[in-house]
Amino acid sequence: ATPTAVMVATGKGASQGVLIKGGNALEKAHKVKAIIFDKTGTLTVGKPSVVQTKVFSNIPLLELCDLAAGSEANSEHPLSKAIVEYTKKLREQYGSHSDHMMESKDFEVHPGAGVSANVEGKLVLVGNKRLMQEFEVPISSEVEGYMSETEELARTCVLVAINRTICGALAVSDPLKPEAGRAISYLTSMGISSIMVTGDNWATAKSIAKEVGINTVFAEIDPVGKAEKIKDLQMQGLTVAMVGDGINDSPALAAADVGLAIGAGTDVAIEAADIVLMRSSLEDVITAIDLSRKTLSRIR
């Protein structure tokens, strides 16, 4: 495309909330054959909330949540925020007016797994199966059962272990964006295939994919793994786009031929991307590709 055509398209995009960072992204977007979508915060709203709780020992629910929230208090992860928020609501229900979180020490983030901290002298682990395995916490068949029950409902099951015993679990739900299904089926009609990649577990990932109409799923993938999936597709000769919102998506956004960041996402993702979707709507993935297709056909 001529510099003028690029300028016109960039301006048009900007007026629709699609920020295209350079001519290169615009030139490549019309060739895209496959799009990899992150799940949390990209296909889903990214505002998870606790919808169910389960206690496996004789600990009171409020104490379980207080300890879990204490461990999550210093984390920016959407799951952490959901747990802290739920705990605050629970306290109100129990008639407590204090907003004060339990103090924690030795807080650590385990990417793609959860958090650990010392809360009131107890080792409190909050996260998935992988986190429990890392700390050699046994998982009973009762816990396994609750996990699969939860995950089949497209919810994420967050386990809470206190001093290396799983004492409870929180089922967290993050609804699909309302336009997600429509956007995916429109992309299919444009000859573009959609793929989902997530750090979340297989069962939850598959049920979300089914809901949104995506057939190809890769779950339990770490940030480096997400970028590798992009490279695999590129090796097959495909021009690949990636849509993501998180720090954990930035290597993939950089590896993709066209990286699209959700505007509501983290700064790191926005920096790594070629195109920023300011309205955070998945329909703007189509807007971006359309703009590229039109710009490049005009000069042909």
Interface residue list for ligand ADP (CB under 6 A): 38-40, 72, 75, 77, 79-80, 112-115, 126-128, 156, 158, 198-200, 246, 248
* 38 part of the active site: yes
Tell me which of Mg ion, ligand ADP, none is bound by residue 77, counting a contact when its beta carbon lies within the kind-specific cut-off of 5 to 8 angstroms.
ligand ADP
Nearer to ligand ADP, 111 or 178 (CB): 111
SS3 219: coil
Q: Indicate whether 246 belongs to the interface with Mg ion (CB under 5 A).
A: yes
| Gyration radius of the chain over CA positions | 21
Minimum CB distance to ligand ADP, residue 253 (Å)? 13
Minimum CB distance to ligand ADP, residue 136 (Å)? 18
| CA dist., res. 272 & res. 184, Å (int) | 23
Q: Which of 10, 40, 194, 266 binds Mg ion (CB under 5 A)?
A: 40
- Cβ-based neighbour number of residue 185 at 10 Å: 12
Q: Indicate whether 245 belongs to the interface with Mg ion (CB under 5 A).
A: yes
Tell me which of ligand ADP, Mg ion, none is bound by residue 114, counting a contact when its beta carbon lies within the kind-specific cut-off of 5 to 8 angstroms.
ligand ADP
Place of tokens 């407590």: 96
The residue range among 35-43, 154-162, 188-196, 226-234 that interacts with Mg ion, by the rule CB under 5 A, is 35-43
Minimum CB distance to ligand ADP, residue 219 (Å)? 9
| CA dist., res. 46 & res. 109, Å (int) | 19
Nearer to ligand ADP, 1 or 36 (CB): 36
The residue range among 28-36, 91-99, 241-249, 252-260 that interacts with Mg ion, by the rule CB under 5 A, is 241-249
Catalytic residue among 38, 245, 249, 284: 38
B/e letters for 16-54, b = 16+ CB within 10 Å, e = fewer, are eebbbbebebbbbbbbbebbbbbbbbbbbbbebbbeebb
B/e letters for 82-116, b = 16+ CB within 10 Å, e = fewer, are bbbebbeebbeeeeeeeeebbebeebebbebbbbb
Minimum CB distance to ligand ADP, residue 7 (Å)? 35
Nearer to ligand ADP, 180 or 291 (CB): 180
Minimum CB distance to Mg ion, residue 198 (Å)? 8
Which amino acid would we find at residue 165? T
Minimum CB distance to ligand ADP, residue 74 (Å)? 10
Question: Torsions phi, psi of 142, nearest 5?
Answer: -65, -45
Nearer to ligand ADP, 97 or 105 (CB): 105
| CA dist., res. 240 & res. 233, Å (int) | 7
Tell me which of ligand ADP, Mg ion, none is bound by residue 125, counting a contact when its beta carbon lies within the kind-specific cut-off of 5 to 8 angstroms.
none
- What spatial distance separates the first Cα and last Cα of the chain, rounded to whole Å? 9
Q: Where are the beta strands (DSSP E) in the chain?
A: 18-20, 34-38, 49-55, 104-110, 114-119, 122-127, 156-162, 165-173, 193-197, 216-218, 240-244, 258-262, 275-277
Q: Indicate whether 194 belongs to the interface with Mg ion (CB under 5 A).
A: no
Residues that bind Mg ion (CB under 5 A): 38, 40-41, 245-246
Active site residues: 38
